[in-house]
Amino acid sequence: MSCAANASAKKEIASIGDRTFLGLDLSTQTLKACVLNDKLEVLKEVYVNFDSELPEFRTIGGAIIDKADNRNVTVPTIMWVKALDMLMDKLMLEGIDFGKIAAVSGSGQQHGTVYWQRSAEETLKNLSSSDFLHQQLSSSFSVTSSPIWMDSSTSKQCKQLEEAVGGPEKLAEITGSRAYERFSGSQIAKVFQTKPDAYKNTEKISLVSSFLCSILLGKIAPIDISDGSGMNLLNIRTKKWDQTLLDACGPNLAEKLGQSVPSYSDVGSISRYFKERYNFNPNCRVIAHTGDNPASLMGMRLNEGWIAVSLGTSDTVFLWLKEPKSVLDGHVLCNPIDENVYMALLCFKNGSLTRERIKNKCANGSWDIFDQLLNSTPRGNFGNMGLYYDIQEILPFLQGDYRFTKNGSTCKFTSLEVEVRALVEGQFLAKRAYAEDFGIQVGQGTKILATGGASQNKGILQVLADVFNSPVYVFKEANSAMIGAGYQAKHGLLKPSMSYGDMIYNLPQPELACEPYPDAAEIYTPMVERYRSIVKDLIRK
Ligand code: ADP
Ligand code: XUL
């Protein structure tokens, strides 16, 4: 579309008084959608859970862990397409008036890659509105199982990427991160090395976010710079792909990735398929999709002095960064709101699914009993400490369960309640230790904003407040990535005439959920030091 035509389409949509915005989140366990009104209030939310509603794909926690080598973690790409069919039907059953949706944006679990077969773009352009998407896109993927962020099978490719630019420090300086197994660059390199024919037959490569966007757009959508900085391929200062890194992964990669765009970019109008099948307004705009953590940053409306802690399938800690910095543990990503600033991100793989395992083992599968056990033990847990890594952890790079009493390591704690507290305290001690190592100030004046599925749990939030010795706040709506995508839909539509700051100015403030107990610093500051020394010893072994 020409600039003039684009501007007039924007104008027409903006004049619709009761317009709405659609925000999607293709997360690890669930595909989520919300419809927001013009005041950014949530009108409707619908979900499709992969394990329970698409049992034919046999995922556990939304993923398939290879039985022969549990470092390989993938998702059948077509499952996500089928989930989108189901989500759209659910929105229709809820009586959503698709004609009022002025713009749509989305978020996706970060780092996962989708491999589009040659001719897939043709298929996307010519989808018939009388058939389901999953029927028509079933042969569109050259690699049928997408590697996702839980994968840790690419240590060899990580080494190659770091060597290509002169070491981990240099890679971190260019891309914001040293090489990480789950990052898309090493995942793409592994596909090239292990499935050369599939790589050759791949016309385009999307991230999970830009894949979802491509379906809505009816053509391959660009990768946005914020999710793009989770690939170890993008120069976070110039916002361009780094040719040396592309070459280290596979041939013709620049062509397969296409040019990256700012996250708020208007990338086109909704495809004919959605106009005809669901009666979307022909002027409905599609705004670039981004990663779930960048989308959460938007949805949580973070200000300076705030640290976000997301307790979803993965646990993450993130915050707004004015300037990029080079760190070896953690990531610097481009910011989804403004391409001149950045965000810091720490990711811990063993989040909710590990908490669920201990809940099932110690609390009969009940969060209420889990909380009772947690609350029946004192802060500091009588000197017991536990580290639980069901799958290969990122920070620190460890796997397995490790338990310690005051006097040294043990294979079993004396009671279920000690185990529950050891898990939750151990998870937050790790977050505080790595946040401090990143240079994040924790303590006086710090405020924590919690989100994600487990942020509904007051007992867990209390431990978070105590370990960080900081108050914890929450929004009523815990799905901040989905909400952030809805905000981005409006932001992308109205930019530059309305800034993100102006857009969110009147929205309600977060609510205080927990305050730290007065003895929190005295108990947990020495425990953070003990955690560091335990981890140092475990890594050395
Ligand atoms: P994702 O977006 O990564 O798919 P969510 O943010 O939707 O994940 O969180 C899902 C997780 O929330 C579930 O795995 C579950 O363990 C956790 N969860 C839901 N309710 C509670 C609760 N009351 N206490 C602790 N965890 C909870
Ligand atoms: C972030 C990360 C995860 C995924 C899934 O680096 O790997 O948080 O985005 O949520």
Per-residue pLDDT reduced to its tens digit, 181-237: 999 999 999 999 999 999 999 999 999 999 999 999 999 999 999 999 999 999 999
- How many other CB atoms are there within 10 angstroms of residue 323's CB atom? 8
What average pLDDT does range 9-24 have in this prediction? 71
Are the C-beta atoms of 507 and 40 separated by less than 8 Å?
yes
Tell me how far the alpha carbon of residue 413 lies from the centroid of ligand 1, in angstroms.
Answer: 26
Count of residues making up the chain: 541
Q: Averaged over 339-360, what is the pLDDT?
A: 97
Q: Enter the DSSP assignment of 509.
A: P
The predicted pLDDT at position 104 comes to: 98
Q: pLDDT tens, 76-132?
A: 999 999 999 999 999 999 999 999 999 999 999 999 999 999 999 999 999 999 999
One-character DSSP codes across 346-366? EEESSSHHHHHHHHHHHSTT-
* CA 314 to ligand 1: nearest atom: 3
Calculate mean pLDDT across residues 389-404: 96
Out of 292, 331, 332, 393, give the residue to mutate to test ligand 2, the one with the largest number of ligand atoms within 8 Å of its CB. 292
Place 431 in a pLDDT band, splitting at 50, 70 and 90.
Answer: very high
Which pLDDT score is estimated for 111?
Answer: 98
Mean pLDDT for the stretch of residues 268-280: 98
* Token pair belonging to 30: 């669930």
The pair of structure tokens assigned to 141 is 């993927």
End-to-end CA separation in angstroms for the chain? 59
DSSP letter at 334 equals E
Give the distance (Å) from ligand 1 centre to CA of residue 312: 5
- Of all protein residues, the one whose alpha carbon is nearest to atom 12 of ligand 1 is 453
pLDDT for res 387:
98
Question: What is the model's pLDDT at position 304?
Answer: 76
How large a percentage of the chain has pLDDT more than 90? 94
Q: How far is the CA of 149 from the centre of ligand 2 (A)?
A: 6
> pLDDT tens-digit profile of 321-342?
999 998 999 999 999 999 999 9
pLDDT band per the 50, 70, 90 thresholds, residue 15:
low
At 314, list the tokens. Answer: 């993965």
Which residue's alpha carbon is nearest to atom 14 within ligand 1? 352
Cβ neighbours around 346 below 10 Å, total: 24
Residues with CB under 6 A from ligand 2: 28, 109-111, 149, 182, 230, 291-293, 312-314, 316, 345, 347
CA 310 to ligand 2: nearest atom = 8
The minimum-distance atom of ligand 1 relative to the CA of 313 is 3
Distance from the alpha carbon of residue 60 to the mean position of ligand 1, in angstroms: 14
Average pLDDT, the chain: 95
Decide if 152 contacts 71 (C-beta within 8 A): yes
Label residue 444 by pLDDT band (50, 70, 90). Answer: confident
Q: Per mean pLDDT, which range of 3-7, 29-33, 138-142, 487-491 is the poorest?
A: 3-7
Segment 389-416 shows an average pLDDT of 96
pLDDT value of residue 389: 97
CA-nearest residue for atom 10, ligand 1, is 453
Residue nearest to atom 16 of ligand 1 (CA): 352
Domains and CATH numbers, the chain: 3-294 (3.30.420.40), 352-473+514-540 (3.30.420.40)
4 pLDDT higher than 50: no
- Kindly state the tokens that stand for 99: 């004609």
* Mean pLDDT of all residues in 381-394: 96
